[in-house]
Structure 1
């Protein structure tokens, strides 16, 4: 299945899940003074963007060094996305962000893993290894994704009040459902490619 620019963008937005992460984001910023929150949001989003760009451009060389195949990455990416999707559809009561926030967050937990989590890293790795000639498109898709995430997080307080917890929860489950289908497609594609190579 060929990935288009817009399907890659939608996939990355679904994986980073900015709407679903609003409650966790607000919790992580509880101890930050209101006048500093905008600066913290921009800094953390830039850090996450830089981390994902590193994975996009240099992850392929790491995979070659580790002698990992494209098929194994597709299967692993499908499994990771499936687990993330299940958590979005059936969220648990406990969360890594449910405890008290300790001062101003730096890198952890907002940049990593809230934005640039394992699933986002695996996805950009997959895009770059499958079609390395389209790196400019993948960079554009990642840039749009980070702009969406930054915009949502900057407006997180207003969005939470406007939409309310039930609507945000419903949107997260809907995104999880779409992501489940994408992960299954990715998993089946990886298995099919591996079986074709064996044949």
Structure 2
């Protein structure tokens, strides 16, 4: 990733971390016993909750970093490692997959769709990294977050249709593709972090 901020590339990065295609089977599993009309309302409500949590963390994350005196380069390198691990898990999921992690017969409220599917630890850590790396572009970062959230929300809202079209194998292939792209972006972020660290000496 370049030091220059790009709303589109940042939105793509955030969407990869949120991983809406990977969340589709999970959402369908959680809401399998809920009426279709009610299901759509739940998804919209949970997406709004998730956005509120992400926004709160975006604007409050800088305070967290300042408390621990974290430098931009160290945060960027740590973020690259996080993205690398996420990408590896997306490409090589466990034998059980992710669809069985959040099974529930009750209607979800906040958990597990808003957290951790949307505003999970990985997404919150990503916002910390981006917020620290682009402290002077918080407004643009918020715009990128809104764009990533909107695309992810649309994919999750259309989850029944997507599942019918792509089925499990198609969704799995898309998730692996997103994981591969995330791996490449993480390597570039690591290179940028190391390059910036070298320039400080």
**TM-score, length-scaled by structure 1:** 0.92
Give the structure 1 partner of residue 164 of structure 2: 161
Deviation of 1:97 (Å): 4.7
Contact 1:9 1:144 in 2 (8 A): yes
Distance between the aligned counterparts of 1:102 and 1:70, measured in 2? 43
Contact 1:89 1:177 in 2 (8 A): yes
Contact 1:77 1:119 in 2 (8 A): no
Give the structure 2 partner of residue 131 of structure 1: 134
* RMSD (Å), alpha carbons: 1.6
Paired residues, number: 198
Moved more, 7-16 or 31-40: 31-40
Give the structure 2 partner of residue 149 of structure 1: 152
Gaps of 5+ in 2: none
Contact 2:5 2:134 in 1 (8 A): no
Deviation of 1:77 (Å): 1.0
Give the structure 2 partner of residue 74 of structure 1: 76
Q: Residue by residue, what CA displacement relative to the aligned partner does 1:64-86 show, whole Å, maximum 9, x if unpaired?
A: 01222222211211111111101
Q: Residue by residue, what CA displacement relative to the aligned partner does 1:29-84 show, whole Å, maximum 9, x if unpaired?
A: 22433332112111111111111111211101111012222222112111111111
- Which of 182, 186, 189 is residue 189 of structure 2 equivalent to? 186
Give the structure 1 partner of residue 40 of structure 2: 38
SS in 1 for 2:196: helix
Distance between the aligned counterparts of 1:25 and 1:74, measured in 2? 31
Distance between the aligned counterparts of 1:18 and 1:96, measured in 2? 12
Distance between the aligned counterparts of 1:86 and 1:71, measured in 2? 23
Q: Residue by residue, what CA displacement relative to the aligned partner does 1:7-42 show, whole Å, maximum 9, x if unpaired?
A: 111111111111222111211222433332112111
Judged with a 3 Å threshold, the aligned counterparts in structure 2 of structure 1 residues 21 and 96 are, in CA distance, closer, same or farther, namely: closer
Gaps of 5+ in 1: none
**TM-score, length-scaled by structure 2:** 0.91
- 4+ aligned runs moved over 6 Å, structure 1: none
